[in-house]
Amino acid sequence: MHDRLVGTWKLVSASSSSASGERNDTPFGSSPAGLLTYTQDGRVTAMISYGRRKRLSSSDSLSAPVEEQAEAFRTFIAYAGRYALDGDKVIHHVEVSSIQDWVDTDLIRRIKFEGQRIVLATPPSLNRGKIQTFELIWQRLASAITGT
């Protein structure tokens, strides 16, 4: 399964569902963007940008109003570290993250291969006051070097 996972993947869709069955097809806004890379030597990098993000009012990001900075932080997730496979799960051992609370933790995702796509699902967890499960579908990108 390791060789099937290695490569770069582009976010196709994201959804969430609550324990009560409530479904949200836009938990990261409409048209989110994301890249997920697994390397042969066991490294993972993940980035998700919410859809319809606003530009800052200043080209100097540190001079932008604090509200704009907070919105930029709230609408972008990035982390990197090591990964391991365990049955139908991939475990991301977070070493650096835009969310400091994730550093030195394991993010466990159930993984399912569907042709040139993978589906990653989170375990149920508290999010915005509700127990939710997130499902993200990723499409394999062709290698920038070989074109395959």
Q: Tokens 């042969």 map to which residue? A: 40
Question: What pLDDT score does 147 carry?
Answer: 64
CA 92 – CA 79 distance, rounded (Å): 9
Question: What pLDDT score does 62 carry?
Answer: 87
Question: What pLDDT score does 19 carry?
Answer: 82
- DSSP helix/strand/coil, 18: strand
What one-character DSSP code corresponds to residue 145?
Answer: T
Question: What pLDDT score does 148 carry?
Answer: 62
Mean pLDDT by 10 residues, the chain (148 residues): 91 93 91 97 97 90 92 95 97 97 98 97 87 96 74
CB-count burial class (<10 Å; 0-12, 13-18, 19+) for 46: buried
Question: What pLDDT score does 119 carry?
Answer: 98
Question: What pLDDT score does 129 carry?
Answer: 80
CB-based contact 19:125 (threshold 8 Å): no
Question: What pLDDT score does 21 carry?
Answer: 86
